[in-house]
Amino acid sequence: DRLVGAGADGEDQAVEAALRPKLLEEFIGQERVREQLSLVLQAARQRGTAPDHVLLSGPPGLGKTTLSMIIAAELGAPIRITSGPAIQHAGDLAAILSSLTEGEVLFLDEIHRMSRPAEEMLYMAMEDYRVDVIVGKGPGATAIPLELPPFTLVGATTRAGLLPPPLRDRFGFTGHMEFYAPAELQQVVHRSAALLDVDIDPAGAAEIAGRSRGTPRIANRLLRRVRDYAQVRHDGRVTREISAQALDVYEVDARGLDRLDRAVLDALLRLFGGGPVGLSTLAVAVGEEAETVEEVAEPFLVREGLLARTPRGRIATAAAWRHLGMAPPVQGGG
Ligand code: ADP
């Protein structure tokens, strides 16, 4: 439940449906994936067949679920949504697959987290539109083959490299989603503001975009917090100043770092002179578990070029010193 966390919280789920673009041309950014996907979909439409299975890879909050819904909408097909962790037994998957209608899109989020037996059943379903349903147990068990209607699987994963090669190879097309550029996020904020009936100027949208870590989900969430602030403390209108004031209240800084991120950097600079320092020592200094520091704070700090992981420990870069308003030391500041 971090304001700058990329996963969906309860409030996001409630609002996201209203904010999702419905068609490919409304989808902002991801030029390459959009163009590639548009070709796949047009070709399938012209041939009158179900398109190849699609794999979408990339960090949470970048629009994978949204794109899967767009794929279905563009094909005029219904969509079924489920996820890897929800499919623990092959039987769970068999039940879903056998109830699909012809041409239906099946969205399988976090596909890398499916159980092994389900994964193997999926291979056959993807390739031959067939599953073997096992009836009974032990030596008396029999496999009953079941024909499936042609369907399109859209799998989503945070990293394509997490998928076993036999599964990866069964996708005809993989779209690699990238973090969004500030100008793209600014468009996302504008679009969402219009849907939420928020009066925002371009500089206000740019300010929110700059603090959103390249992630539309975070941009939409920050916009809602800024809206609250603008409504309660001012007249509802969102400008650069209002956005900055609101997000300062929520401790999301100009670069999208939150309290934890800054605490890690601050300890690294003030207590350890910029490092190198071991992860566990750094974690003790900020009063967090090593895992939290490593998995929650560090990935973004590394991505932003503020912190580097080296064999000798964590070190701060010159940009980190500058970000916290301090001069980098002449030596060893990275
Ligand atoms: P993922 O499945 O990758 O975690 P979602 O598809 O659920 O991400 O997107 C999260 C939120 O961000 C949704 O509210 C969606 O409307 C918004 N969003 C994502 N990508 C875009 C985009 N390209 N244009 C506009 N809004 C987007």
Taking residues 215-224, what's their average pLDDT?
Answer: 97
Cβ atoms 62, 21 nearer than 8 A: no
> Could you report the per-residue pLDDT of 7-23, keeping only the tens digit for each?
998 888 888 889 999 99
**123 strand-pairing partners:** none
What integer pLDDT is reported at residue 133 of this predicted model?
85
- Between the CA of 160 and the centroid of ligand 1 the distance, in Å, is 19
What integer pLDDT is reported at residue 154 of this predicted model?
98
Taking residues 180-193, what's their average pLDDT?
Answer: 98
Taking residues 278-289, what's their average pLDDT?
Answer: 97
Q: State the catalytic residues.
A: 64-65, 109, 158, 217
- Between the CA of 191 and the centroid of ligand 1 the distance, in Å, is 12
Which atom belonging to ligand 1 lies closest to the Cα atom of 19? 16
Taking residues 254-275, what's their average pLDDT?
Answer: 96
Taking residues 162-170, what's their average pLDDT?
Answer: 93
Return the residue matching tokens 């109830």: 99
Distances (CA, A) of 189 to 18, 29, 65, 233, 282: 14, 13, 18, 21, 36
Conformation bin of residue 48: beta by default, left when phi > 0, alpha when psi is -120 to 50 = left
- Between the CA of 62 and the centroid of ligand 1 the distance, in Å, is 5
Taking residues 257-272, what's their average pLDDT?
Answer: 97
pLDDT band at 285 (very low <50, low <70, confident <90, very high): very high
Distance between CA atoms of 64 and 70, rounded to whole angstroms? 10
**Lowest mean pLDDT, pick from 101-110, 153-162, 243-252, 253-262:** 153-162
What integer pLDDT is reported at residue 324 of this predicted model?
96
Taking residues 73-87, what's their average pLDDT?
Answer: 96
Mean of all residue pLDDT scores within the chain: 95
For ligand 1, whether the C-beta of 152 sits within 6 Å is no
> Could you report the per-residue pLDDT of 133-152, keeping only the tens digit for each?
888 888 889 988 999 999 99
Annotated binding-site residues for ATP read 19-20, 61, 64-66, 127-129, 170, 180, 217
Which atom belonging to ligand 1 lies closest to the Cα atom of 59? 3
For ligand 1, whether the C-beta of 20 sits within 6 Å is yes
What integer pLDDT is reported at residue 11 of this predicted model?
87
What integer pLDDT is reported at residue 240 of this predicted model?
98
For ligand 1, whether the C-beta of 5 sits within 6 Å is no
Token digits of residue 153: 């699987």
ipTM: 0.99
Taking residues 312-333, what's their average pLDDT?
Answer: 89
What integer pLDDT is reported at residue 122 of this predicted model?
96
Of the segments 136-145, 153-162, 280-289, which one has the largest average pLDDT value?
280-289
Cβ atoms 7, 61 nearer than 8 A: yes
| Phi (first) and psi of residue 329, to 5 degrees | -65, 155
Cβ atoms 68, 154 nearer than 8 A: yes
What integer pLDDT is reported at residue 331 of this predicted model?
66
Residue 197 pLDDT > 50, yes or no? yes
**Lowest mean pLDDT, pick from 138-147, 179-188, 221-230, 315-324:** 138-147
What is the separation, in whole angstroms, between the first and last Cα of the chain? 32
- Between the CA of 14 and the centroid of ligand 1 the distance, in Å, is 13
Taking residues 243-247, what's their average pLDDT?
Answer: 98
Distance between CA atoms of 43 and 51, rounded to whole angstroms? 8
Distance between CA atoms of 292 and 63, rounded to whole angstroms? 25
For ligand 1, whether the C-beta of 315 sits within 6 Å is no
What integer pLDDT is reported at residue 333 of this predicted model?
47
Which atom belonging to ligand 1 lies closest to the Cα atom of 56? 3
Q: What percent of the chain has pLDDT over 90?
A: 87
Taking residues 107-125, what's their average pLDDT?
Answer: 94
> Could you report the per-residue pLDDT of 198-217, keeping only the tens digit for each?
999 999 999 999 999 999 99
For ligand 1, whether the C-beta of 61 sits within 6 Å is yes
* Cis, peptide link before residue 276, omega less than 30° from 0: yes
Q: What is the 3-state secondary structure (H, E, C) of the chain?
A: CCCCCCCCCHHHHHHHHHHCCCCHHHCCCCHHHHHHHHHHHHHHHHHCCCCCCEEEECCCCCCHHHHHHHHHHHHCCCEEEEEHHHCCCHHHHHHHHHCCCCCCEEEEECHHHCCHHHHHHHHHHHHHCEEEEEECCHHHCEEEEEECCCCEEEEEECCHHHCCHHHHCCCCEEEECCCCCHHHHHHHHHHHHHHCCCCECHHHHHHHHHCCCCCHHHHHHHHHHHHHHHHHHCCCCECHHHHHHHHHHCCCCCCCCCHHHHHHHHHHHHCCCCCCECHHHHHHHHCCCHHHHHHHHHHHHHHCCCEEEECCEEEECHHHHHHCCCCCCCCCCC
